[in-house]
Structure 1
Amino acid sequence: MTPDLLQLSYSVADLCRQAGAFIREQVTSFDPSKIESKGLHDMVSYVDKESEKMLVAGLQKLLPEAGFVTEEGTVANSDPSVEYRWIIDPLDGTTNFIHGLPCFAVSVALARGNEPVLGVVYEVSRDECFRGAQGHGAFLNDQPIRVSSAARMDDTLIATGLPFYKFTHLDAYLGILTEYMQHSRGLRRWGSAATDLAYVACGRFDSYFEFNINSYDVAAGILLVREAGGRVTQWLEAGDPVFNREVLATNGHVHNEMQAVMRQHWQPGFQW
């Protein structure tokens, strides 16, 4: 059965707000002693896990036949041959949350195959809910949004994510970063990929790029950018940016210019 994506997006947004309310309640009572480490500089807390359980329970009721791709593994990840999968990051920006920095989000996408067809990013601190469904546009708190109109990279504000645990190809990345610094209005490292993409969708950022990134960080935001009129690809090509661990999202106008810089430093086939 093909779901009604527009109506479904409203219900998913409600679930994300509920999870966000739980996260917001935990800000003042969070116990740092309960932080766990998943790897070098990669942390998780009971807040992440409980938020994910809440989301999974609600999403299973909305679309029982769908599978899951989840960050914290509170439900078994499904076979990729399942037609629809929920892709969930229950707390994107965990490091910000743990350190008391006000940028973290709930991110939920529905993908058909590898293509996101619905996306919700709820930025908790500002109570901003970004919602989109394929063919129906993108919205911020139910108001339509569009990407920016900047036509040159020199006129853009660029978002990125800095490597924090895996430093493969760091020299190539720094080469790209250097040129972007010299040919833009500035770069920002917000600490939440989902929020970065939502901000591209509403025109606050003109572009966002990151490598060694996970599907649950970016799937919902990719849908938002596309529905807001932007373009999202891998760094050097137009392949799948959801599961291939590299994302370039722009307003569309500066996409080719940004890729031209990348081609000077990045090599096709770089492995993670």
Structure 2
Amino acid sequence: MFSEPPVNHMDSTDLNKEDPSLESLAAVMREVAQAEILPAFGLVQARAKADGSLLTEVDLAVQQRLIKALERLTPGIAVLGEEMPESEQLRLLERASADDAHAGEASAFWALDPLDGTSNFACGFPAFAISLALFRKGQAELGIIYDPVRDECFSARLGQGAWLNGDPLQCRRDCQRLADAMALIDFKRIPPERVPGLIRTGAFRSQRNLGSVALDWCWLASGRAQIYLHGAQRLWDYAAGRLIAAEAGVITRMLPPGLAEPSAGLTLAPRLAMAAAHPALFDQWWEHVGLPWRE
């Protein structure tokens, strides 16, 4: 059973309410997954959205139920869900940025991906998750990802650590050579001309693609892979997972396409993600990938 380690709650003046416990969030996510996700696994029809990604009625049902639950747990804190209209998402980010500009005010919102890995879910491939992160003043401060197939709940609090089902989570640091690393790479979002160089002989030991960004980050955090590359992640994709990985000791970097340096501020624009489980390994991976990729 998930049990959250003791933590000191943040000053309630920041949110006008204490953060909900990770245990309470995990319980809600498990309940929703058991009611909406698992009974429909591999049985629902999916349709393509404007960006080409898939959507099912389960995505919408999970988002609706979790928004209602979060309104109850943290009244007054808005939810930015993947399946909301983009205009509504942009208004929420603009409001949060405006709040950030006033030193005496605290901005906070939830970033929710109700079903990360919808394509997997729809075709019966067992790799998908619910992803949820709490942002304050432009930074993710709490993240929780629930994998209903494995009943694994990954979580983190900024500066306090990461956990898997309540047990401390630390990435493995025993792999320090690129040739020994297990890689998670999403080739679909990488320029085709860059792929041959990435997969040349001796580049890494082996490669996988889970089809779920949230689980990619969590599996890095838990030592199931050592290096990572994904060409285009959105805010709800990486919000919780990157925090969990970083709190577990993974070296991470999020970059605007075509640039070698991060940009400040929150955005809905896609970001390239790179990561490695050891600083020396990250340096080798960075050199091998050869960023920035210019168009």
What TM-score range do you get, normalising by the shorter chain?
0.7 to 0.9
- Aligned to 1:17, the other structure's residue is in SS state helix
Query: Residues 188, 130 of structure 1: CA spacing in aligned structure 2 closer, same or farther, 3 A cutoff?
Result: same
Cα distance, 1:259 vs structure 2: 1.1
Q: Distance in 1 between matches of 2:181 and 2:146?
A: 24
Structure 2 residue aligned with 1:137: 161
Q: Distance in 1 between matches of 2:221 and 2:262?
A: 19
Q: Distance in 2 between matches of 1:250 and 1:79?
A: 29
Structure 2 residue aligned with 1:183: 203
Amino acid corresponding to residue 178 of structure 1 in structure 2: I
- Aligned to 1:8, which of 11, 21, 33? 21
Structure 2 residue aligned with 1:222: 242
Q: Indicate the larger mover: 96-105 or 237-246.
A: 237-246
Q: Distance in 1 between matches of 2:19 and 2:178?
A: 34
Q: How does 1:25-44 map to 2 (within 5 A)?
A: 25-27=39-41, 30-32=43-45, 35-39=46-50, 41-44=52-55
Larger radius of gyration: 2
- Aligned to 2:176, which of 151, 154, 168? 151
- Aligned to 1:202, which of 214, 222, 239? 222
Q: Distance in 1 between matches of 2:226 and 2:287?
A: 16
Q: Provide TM-score, normalisation by structure 1.
A: 0.86
Query: Residues 69, 182 of structure 1: CA spacing in aligned structure 2 closer, same or farther, 3 A cutoff?
Result: farther
Deviations 1:186-226 (A, max 9, x none): 11011101001000111111122101221111111001011
Query: Residues 85, 6 of structure 1: CA spacing in aligned structure 2 closer, same or farther, 3 A cutoff?
Result: closer
Identity %: 26
Amino acid corresponding to residue 192 of structure 2 in structure 1: L
Aligned-residue Cα RMSD (Å) equals 2.5
Structure 1 residue aligned with 2:277: 251
Q: Distance in 2 between matches of 1:130 and 1:41?
A: 28
Q: Provide TM-score, normalisation by structure 2.
A: 0.80
Q: Distance in 2 between matches of 1:232 and 1:58?
A: 31
Tell me if the contact between 1:218 and 1:242 (Cα under 8 Å) persists in the aligned partners: no
- Aligned to 2:216, the other structure's residue is in SS state helix
How many pairs does the alignment contain? 260
5+ residue gaps, structure 2: 1-12, 97-106
